[in-house]
Amino acid sequence: MVEIFAVKLAEKEIFGEIKSELISKLPVVVAAKYNDYKHSDSLQRSLLGELLLRKVLSQKLKLTDKEINFKTGDKGKPYLSDQALYFNISHSGKWVVGAFSDKEVGIDVELIREPNYEVAKRFYSEIELAGLNSIADAELKKEYFFELWTLKESYLKAIGTGLTKSLSSFTVITAANGQIFLTDGAAIDHVFFKQYAFDKDYKLAVCSFENEFCEEIQTMDINSM
């Protein structure tokens, strides 16, 4: 089953007080890279993603940090070299989220903001663009823009290509009953999606090669990381 965990960023003042303690929880080699961050929120998002990933993997695999061996695929997606457990991390705004599964999985979270609809012309398929432009209500159109974006990103992350595969090369279709379909040259029936309404200001989508998803996101406290 796909499980999802989330942790919310702390206020800048609080993060400043606990930053050193959080970094100290990481292996020395990994911790060193966090000395180069200049922007507090960027540092916190990356750091919490690292901590969330390692904490969940340690719990699930009954391993210490030193026993967790990461490798990187041809397109840059990290994976475990000796365990059949897959994962993916995403962050946006004040949230860092992670998806974990027995099969390949991708997750994307996005803060809902005013979109640049010129981007849609470049990255959405003709069918998706037509659906987006058919929405007259400005707020609904904005929400749908990010629904599509998170669904498409989660698929690319699940298959491990990232943006080396064009976002416009495949189409995500959401039916009236809420079912989500994917066509990538032809209809694809072995990938599955789920969307979560966990924060009204964000859109979140998960894509997996298994059709069993948790009902709720497990929220973690930054102090427990």
What is the average pLDDT across 155-183?
86
C-alpha triplet 33, 39, 43: angle, nearest 5°: 45
pLDDT of residue 118: 93
pLDDT of residue 63: 86
Strand order from edge to edge, sheet including 105-111: 105-111, 202-208, 192-196
Query: Can you give the residue range of the structural domain that contains 162?
Result: 3-224
The CATH number covering residue 24 comes to: 3.90.470.20
Number of domains the chain is built from: 1
Contact 78, 105 (CB under 8 A): no
CA Rg, the chain, in Å?
18
pLDDT of residue 167: 86
pLDDT of residue 77: 80
pTM: 0.94
Strands (DSSP E) contained in the chain are: 3-8, 70-72, 78-80, 86-92, 95-101, 105-111, 171-174, 180-184, 186-188, 192-196, 202-208, 218-220
Print burial letters for 81-111: b (CB count within 10 Å at least 16), e (below 16). eeeeebbbbbbbbbbbbbbbbebbbbbbbbe
Mean pLDDT rounded to a whole number for the chain: 91
Between 162 and 219, the more confident residue is 219
